[in-house]
Structure 1
Amino acid sequence: MTDTGITDVRRWLLSHRKLLTTAVSGVLFAVGWSLVYVGYGVSGDVALLVAAFVGGYDVAKKAYHTLRNGTVDINALVTLAAVGAIGIGEYWEAAGVVFLFSLGGYLEGRTMRRTRAALQELLERAPDTAVVRRDGKEVELPAHEVEEGEVVVVRPGDSIPVDGVVTRGESAVDQSSVTGESAPVRKTEDDEVYAGTVNRDGALDVRATGTGSDTTLQRIIRRVEEAQEAKSPTETLVEKFAKYYTPAVVLLAVGTYVVTRDAMVSLTLLVIGCPGALVIGPPVSIVSAIGNSARNGVLMKGGEHLERAGKIDLVAFDKTGTLTKGETVVSEVRGFGVADEEALRHAAVAERRSEHHLADAVLDEYRGRDGYATDGGAETAEHPLPEPETFEVEAGKGVTATYNGRRVLVGNSLFLKDEGVEVPQEVAEYSADREKEGETAVYVAVDGSVVGVISLRDEVRDATADVVEELKDAGVRTVMLTGDNERTARAVAEEVGIQEYHAELLPEDKQEIVEELRGEGNVVAMVGDGINDAPSLAVADVGVAMGAAGTDTAIETADTALMADDLRRIPYAVGLSKATRRNIVENVGIAVATVVVLLAGVFTGYVTMATGMLAHIVSVLVVIMNGMRLTWYR
């Protein structure tokens, strides 16, 4: 055999060590028990002792290390029981306990690996290679070697190897691995795509914006790994309990021997007192739930947040970009004393330096009107858009700009009031009518006089009303928080079925309201875009960031991140969290009931060491399978 062959065999043996030791221990146990049964006592005892050694070596080694660290765990209890059984000549009990414990550990590890299948699926989605255009040629290279800015060629059926922007082509892309969306999404030029998603039917050229470990998929994988390792409150409590419970079992066994002088009963107590099901129950529930949520486009930061989400009784929604699509457009421009186009032009100049989404809508409207823009979006020579000489932003209210000696204000009624600008009755009535339709009215004032009103509309998401109704049916109260005025807020709230809303809020006002809602005894989830609503997301019991795909900040900082802009994931996440809490309680109940029944069985003589270990293993597998039910929760 070649060196490579020997290395492969060694690698295979190491990777299957647990299975092999369990199998050898089981075969020797069966052989030894059979030899003793047919009368070959000495040979049978030797086989049983070897079986105990083979199956118990790793167990004893772990017990030694944990005892050196001052901890008495399940491995120590099994080792003590096996050594004690050998000491009193009960070789078959020692071999049986070790084999069953080894078998239980193997089955436990195998089923736990299945609960992490979601993470493995994500890992498998990441392609190994990419085809890149370099020097006019298509070159295939490892995906992690693609450099930012390079153009990657993605053929139909290929997985996209990088985060990037489509520069040429059109196709449907399956984004389920990242966003949880069930239907492929149409992608054209300038659309974002993510590593690990699958190109369905058309060729795409993609300019890389994130490669290697700096892709959305890799950030998701890191977050899922961290979340599955993070301890939930229940897990922490159970581990603390087990820390004191296990030594108590040893003391109980010693005390029983002192009273009864029955070594077998004492050793059996060591075996059945193992808190295996109690310790494994909560983690398997948490891991299964986090894996499920990751597959469905919902990232949970860890078990603590998953458990807390199960207690949510109030969900506070930001309006713009959350309940609505966040695609604000100008629905109407009305000039007062000036032409509509002139009022729009004043607003466009003032908003030129602004980064607010309402400013983008105003500028898009200005540049999209006939005669005001070229195909490239630049102003024409006839109608150049001046650069304002000064520019100031009043957060949550509006902007002030000056140009050509004129002072322009663009903002809400509160902003104009603060600036001492009076709104004429005609203008106020017009604005009120627009706001009753759910639109946002933005005033334009020049040199202290209102010259126009720009009405903006943001369409409500199709699923919003159904989501609000579903939360109500689940006993969850809903509240809307918005910076819009009272009339616009009322119109949107009525449209989606939310009875309680708070309007004309600044970011700090939203934070204060969330704190007040928590102070009333509610467990509050705040749903927002993860950036503008950062203060209120931070103070909520559970902060939920919408549309986090491709957004580093949201993925890394939010308690929960919805990878797609899909509000339907919120009732799902709340339901999964509640189901997880119930599942954890069930697993703890199964574990405690098993120990109580076995203790009673030991003291009444119905439970032996081997049957006790068998019952222990069965209880561990039962809680694992119960926890794995969360893998299929929908």
Structure 2
Amino acid sequence: MSSIRQFYRRHRKALTTATSGVLYAGGWTLGYVTPFDTASAVVLVVAAVVGGFDIAKIAYYELRSLTLGIKTLVTLAAVGAIAIGAYWEAAAVVFLFSLGSYLESRTMRKTRSALEELLEMTPDTAVVVRDGEHIEIPARDVEVGEVVVVKPGEKIPVDGDVVDGESAVDQAPVTGESAPVHKSPGDEVYAGTINQEGAFEVRTTGAGSDTTLQRIIRRVEEAQEAQSPTESLIDRFATYYTPAIVALSLVAFAVTRDPMLSLTLLVIGCPGALVIGPPVSIVSAIGTAARNGVLMKGGEHLERAGKIDLVAFDKTGTLTTGETTVAAVEGFGHEPASVLRYAATAEKRSEHHLAAAILAAVESADDTGTLAADGGVSGAIADTSIPEPDEFDVVPGSGVVAHHDGREIVVGNRRLLDDRDISIPDAAAEYARTREDRGETAVHVALDGAVVGVIAVRDELREAAPDVVERLHDAGIQTVMLTGDNERAARAVAEEVGIDDVRAALLPEDKQRAITEYRERGHVVAMVGDGINDAPSLATADVGIAMGAAGTDTAIETADMALMADDLRQIAEAISLSKATRWNVYENVGIAIVTVVFLLAGVLTSYVHLAAGMLVHEASVLAVILNGMRLLRQ
């Protein structure tokens, strides 16, 4: 018995719609082929009651809250039709509306299919290593720090770092990457991704609701519920429009004394397609974006992204891979090996990517002092352990100043040296210019107020960067690079990529001012950065786009749009989807308005009657839903 009740609750709308339809067909047939008019009327009234009970209940609560919605108008129309003896019309209106609502809910559920796909990605169980034994437990019960065993073909149940084994992992559910990514010890993996080849062990950093996939799901749910500006505008319009339709039907009855005309106006004047059209488009687009590894924060940002006409790129980590390496070291009065060691000492506490490159260069130097990458270091680095600086200070956008063993070490760009009145020898300046003309970054090293060397750091260009910029240009979107790097290195990269304009040697606040300036010129600006270092610029831009947000809480929470993988191609695809969504919303609004105008004109000229008007009305609702669902195939 309980299973029957559960089945009924799950399929209530389908069952009541089907029952109403059968009764409607039976009552109409009975009246058409037999002389039993009373029996036909009773069956048709029952059809209206069965199909309209839930509708009338909602209408009751709408009236109690002093609001007028489409269900109130349908209820009034059905009750009025029964009151004047138009039983066939009453049953037809209720059945058609019930059928339309059922089909609408079915198709709306499909627009959220991308979210359902994400939900299905998380496995229910995990195999953990406890006391030397493999134990299967619910994935949500895995604790941070525990080691989880993942076999070939299995979904990874937790976020974590690989500690043993190697494999290729399909990360498409989280990052949208089409090709599997090789994983080895030290690499990060995400819950919901699929292990394809070898077995490996993962030390858990997040489980249950605290995984990257679950954060994406929560953000997608919030984004799909949040209203876009168009939705808010239409809701405000409907607040005044619906009572106006009721007033129009009353005026029509007062003038014509034709109750059927008045009831028809009530039904066909409902703004159903107008209200449902934009949300379907927005929900479909957000779901599609999530499935492709792009996290949209909400309909507002999605709509605004469709108006973007200028994209500003950070250079390092965005147009380039961010995997910086030391290309060469040149000493001036000092051995290159000593220059590198001084720089490493100053940078040891820094978290900047250039500091990481310098420290990695010291570690990779062999016993002859030769860098594996370039051979730019001469003289042995016998002891690669780098001492801690006694004092350490970061100068944002410029470099670092440190003290060690009573000596001051300054590592940074020309601006930092100028600010500290440190002159740069002509030979050092010429060497720096030569390396910068190659697109490299020149890092100056000064000891006790005198330049002792220059370190050239290389950051490889992303392979997809030129193609992405070209696609943006083809879409009529301007591009600009905003970077803290020097002018020559920035222009070398910009020319290779095809960027329209370059602003170099910028501090974070300079980037923010540049974004503000572009907006004041009338541009709708997107800023693409790493989501943390470029936070002021991302917040100032009309749309902030964070690169490589997978596993980064800050980026997921703060960006308007987050690219889960470090894939520049997702930018062009996301903007293209946003523009398509914007036009799709306009199309749906147009379909709704044209349908209402056509129906009103038909009613006032006696060409459209109650049942036919409801049929066309429901057809327009399904039309905008199907049109919005086209975005699921983008």
TM-score surpassing 0.5? yes
Report the more deviating stretch, 6-15 or 524-533.
6-15
Cα distance in 1 between the residues matched to 2:107 and 2:462:
40
Which residue of the other structure, out of 264, 283, 286, is the alignment partner of 1:287? 283
Check whether the contact 2:543–2:560 (CA below 8 A) recurs between aligned residues.
yes
Q: 1:398 aligns to what?
A: 399
Q: Does 1:59 find its partner at 2:60?
A: no
Partners of 2:352 and 2:295 in 1: CA distance:
28
* Residue 256, structure 1, aligned to residue 257, structure 2: no
The structure 2 residue matched to 1:126, chosen from 118, 122, 125, is 122
Q: Is the 8 A contact 2:337 2:381 kept in 1?
A: no
1:194-593 correspondence runs (5 A): 194-371=190-367, 382=383, 384-593=385-594
Q: 1:17 aligns with which of 8, 12, 16?
A: 12
Which among 92, 98, 111 is matched to residue 94 of structure 2? Answer: 98
Q: Which secondary structure state, in structure 2, belongs to the residue aligned with residue 460 of structure 1?
A: coil
Q: Distance in 2 between matches of 1:454 and 1:173?
A: 37
The residue aligned with 1:138 is 134
**Map of 2:36 onto structure 1:** 40
Q: Distance in 1 between matches of 2:623 and 2:360?
A: 60
Give the match's secondary structure for 2:366: coil
Deviation at 1:442, TM superposition (A): 0.6
TM superposition shift of 1:384: 4.5
Match of 2:165 in 1: 169
User: 2:53 and 2:134 mapped to 1: Cα distance?
Assistant: 55
Structure 1 distance, partners of 2:536, 2:354, is 21
Once the two structures are superposed, what CA deviation does each residue of 1:19-65 show, in whole Å capped at 9, x if it has no partner?
00001111111111111112211111111111111001000000010
Q: State TM-score, norm by structure 1.
A: 0.97
CA positional deviation for 1:368? 1.5
The answer on 1:30 being equivalent to 2:31 is no
Question: Which letter maps to 2:202?
Answer: V
Alpha carbons 2:176, 2:291 under 8 Å: kept: yes
Cα distance in 2 for partners of 1:177, 1:148 equals 22
- How far did residue 404 of structure 1 move? 1.9
1:550 and 1:9 map into 2 onto residues whose CA distance is: 44
> For the aligned residues, what is the CA RMSD?
1.3
2:143 maps to a residue whose letter is: E
Q: Answer yes or no: is 1:182 the counterpart of 2:178.
A: yes
Match of residue 3 from structure 2: 8
Matched, 1:49 2:45: yes
Q: Distance in 1 between matches of 2:23 and 2:279?
A: 33
Q: Where does residue 377 of structure 2 map in the other structure?
A: none
Determine the C-alpha separation between the residues in 2 that align with 1:226 and 1:385. Answer: 48
Question: 1:292 is aligned with what amino acid?
Answer: T
Secondary structure at the counterpart of residue 432 of structure 1: helix
Residues 231 and 372 from structure 1, CA distance in 2 versus in 1: closer, same or farther, beyond 3 angstroms? farther
Percent identity between the two aligned chains: 67
Q: Which amino acid aligns with 2:21?
A: G
CA distance in 1, matches of 2:539, 2:90: 55
Letter in 1 for 2:253: Y
> How far apart, CA to CA, are the structure 2 residues paired with 1:612 and 1:120?
35
Please tell me the residue identity of whatever aligns with 2:93.
Answer: V
**Map of 2:148 onto structure 1:** 152
**Mapped contact 1:372–1:383 kept (Cα < 8 A):** no
Deviation for aligned residue 1:385: 2.6
Structure 1 counterpart of 2:78, one-letter code: A
The aligned residue for residue 376 of structure 1 is: none
Residue identity opposite 2:492 in structure 1 = A
Question: By how many angstroms is 1:372 displaced?
Answer: 9.2
Kindly indicate whether the alpha-carbon contact (under 8 Å) linking 2:367 and 2:382 is maintained by their aligned counterparts in 1: no
Aligned equivalents of 2:503 and 2:244: distance in 1? 55
Tell me what 1:614 maps to.
615
What SS is found at the alignment partner of 2:568? coil
The residue type equivalent to 1:343 in the other structure is V
Quickly say closer, same or farther: Cα 1:381–1:341, change in 2 above 3 A. closer
Report the Cα offset of residue 602 of structure 1.
1.1
**1:479 alignment partner AA:** V
Are 2:113 and 1:117 aligned? yes
Relative to structure 1, is the Cα distance of residues 382 and 358 closer, same or farther in structure 2, using a 3 angstrom cutoff?
closer
Residue deviations 1:251-304, cap 9 Å, x none? Answer: 111100000000011111111111100100000000111111111111111110
Give the AA of the match of 1:518. R
Kindly state the Cα deviation for residue 396 of structure 1 after the two structures are TM-superposed. Answer: 1.1
The DSSP-based 3-state class of the residue aligned with 1:139 is: strand
Structure 1 residue 423: Cα displacement: 0.7
Which residue type is aligned with residue 194 of structure 1? Answer: Y
Q: Distance in 2 between matches of 1:338 and 1:144?
A: 57
Letter aligned with residue 162 of structure 2: V
Describe the SS at the equivalent of 2:453: strand
Contact 2:111 2:629 survives alignment (8 Å): yes
Alignment partners' CA distance in 2, 1:390 and 1:438: 32
Per-residue deviation, 1:382: 4.8
- What residue in structure 1 maps to residue 73 of structure 2? 77
* In 2, Cα distance between equivalents of 1:573 and 1:356: 29
Residue identity matched to 1:489:
A
Secondary structure class of the residue paired with 1:157: coil
Offset at residue 381 of structure 1 (A) = 8.4
The code of the aligned residue for 1:552 comes to D
Distance 1:122 1:257 in 2: 53
Whole-Å separation in 1 of the counterparts to 2:368 and 2:236: 70
- Which secondary structure state, in structure 2, belongs to the residue aligned with residue 337 of structure 1? coil
Q: CA deviation at 1:225?
A: 0.5
**How far is 1:447 from its partner?**
1.3
Normalized against structure 2, the TM-score is what?
0.97
Q: Given residue 25 of structure 1, which amino acid in structure 2 is its aligned partner?
A: S
Number of the residue aligned with 2:375? none
Contact 1:285 1:580 in 2 (8 A): yes
**Aligned partners of 2:390, 2:167: CA distance in 1, in Å?**
45
Instruction: Give me the whole-angstrom Cα distance separating, in 2, the residues matched to 1:94 and 1:383.
Output: 88
Compute the displacement of 1:499 (Å): 2.7
Contact 1:366 1:372 survives alignment (8 Å):
no
1:167: how far off? 0.6
Q: Which whole-Å CA distance do the structure 2 matches of 1:94 and 1:271 have between them?
A: 11
Distance in 1, Cα, partners of 2:239 & 2:395? 56
Aligned 8 A contact 2:365 2:381 in 1: no
Q: 1: CA distance between counterparts of 2:606 and 2:487?
A: 75
Shift of 1:386: 2.3
- Residue 168 (structure 1) shift: 0.8
Give the Cα–Cα distance (whole angstroms) in 2 for the partners of residues 387 and 593 of structure 1: 73
Counterpart AA for 1:266: S
Q: Which residue of 2 aligns with 1:3?
A: none
Cα distance in 1 for partners of 2:620, 2:206 equals 46
Residue by residue over 1:446-488, the C-alpha shift from the partner in whole angstroms, topping out at 9 and shown as x without a partner, is 1121111100000010010111111011100000000011111
2: CA distance, partners of 1:622 / 1:435? 58
Q: Which residue identity lines up with residue 461 of structure 1 in the other structure?
A: R
Give secondary structure in 2 for the equivalent of 1:270.
helix
Amino acid at match of 1:606: Y
3-state SS, counterpart of residue 127 of structure 2: strand
Q: How many Å separate the matches in 1 of 2:310 and 2:89? A: 55
